[in-house]
Amino acid sequence: MKFKKDHLGYIELEKLSLKNKEEINQLHSFTFLYLGKRYFFKEAKNVSQSYNELIGYELAKDFGLEAVPYDLASYNGHVGFLSQDYMKDGYVCLEDLLVKYYGTDEEKNNLDDASIMIRDTFPYESSEKIISDLVRLLMFDIIIGNYDRHDQNIIIDTNNGRLAPVSDNELLLSDDAMYGQFYAFRITPDDKITLDNFLNYLSSDELFEFARKALIISENNIESVMSRVEKRIGHPMIEPLKLEIIKKFTDYFHFLLRKIDKEVEYRYTLKKSR
């Protein structure tokens, strides 16, 4: 996106000639036309959170997921983030599919019930790819500590039978998500401590992949991610905030490694006792 930015790297939207501005009040956001392209702005709760979508984009690339690219932006003093409007014909949110299949999405916002619906709605090859994509998305959310994955921001591209590019990562490193307590999207309708359940749910190959993918939040890679974010916004990140993010990710990375080791040890002990 080619926009002029302020001294902190934010695009000041109030200085642009925005056309067809449409408010999305529930999200404190809006879409608008600018130079023939439609964009989406979402307000963040604070400066730290405004960086998170940019960090999430870089981490998704390192994980191997296609993701929506963002820039920092502000509007009348409210900080947030900006992307081109990423919704396309054929994109359907998981909530709509669950409601259509079950008549409701209450208690259905979980991997087990979603998998039943997906297998009954899509051809076999597409359904297995969507479910595999969904498991990998949950891996990603757990690794980045993203609490806010739910059936409204899980988007299926019905054109190719895959998940659409990842978005809505602004709540990464959430206190609700880190250290084993999360998540809006669950494995079963009644699970509570989903990190332990999720690790137990994974096959041996998937557990190995999870451990390998967790390296995206190792200290060296997080420092690389911060550098890429700075390059994208054309300005250094606020230094105390940058150091805080690196420390939180590093601490969380070591926590995940301990959890993975514990799960591997449990499986080894169980196998040995048989």
**Encoded tokens for 269:** 């002990």
What's the whole-model pTM score?
A: 0.91
CATH code of domain 11-84: 3.30.200.120
Indicate the burial class of 5 (C-beta count within 10 angstroms; 0-12, 13-18, 19 or more). Answer: middle
Instruction: Say if CB 166 and CB 149 are below 8 A apart.
Output: no
CA nearest neighbour of 235 among 32, 50, 67, 83: 50
Q: CA-CA distances (angstroms) from residue 221 to 95, 211, 245, 250?
A: 34, 15, 12, 10
pLDDT, tens only, 126-179 = 999 999 999 999 999 999 999 888 889 999 999 899 999 999 999 899 876 676
pLDDT, tens only, 167-210 = 999 989 987 667 666 666 788 887 666 788 889 889 999 999 99
Please report, for the chain, the start and end positions of each structural domain, with discontinuous segments joined by +: 11-84
Helix ranges, 64-103 (H): 94-102
Classify the C-alpha dihedral 253-254-259-263 as positive or negative.
Answer: positive
Beta bridge partners of 42: 29, 81
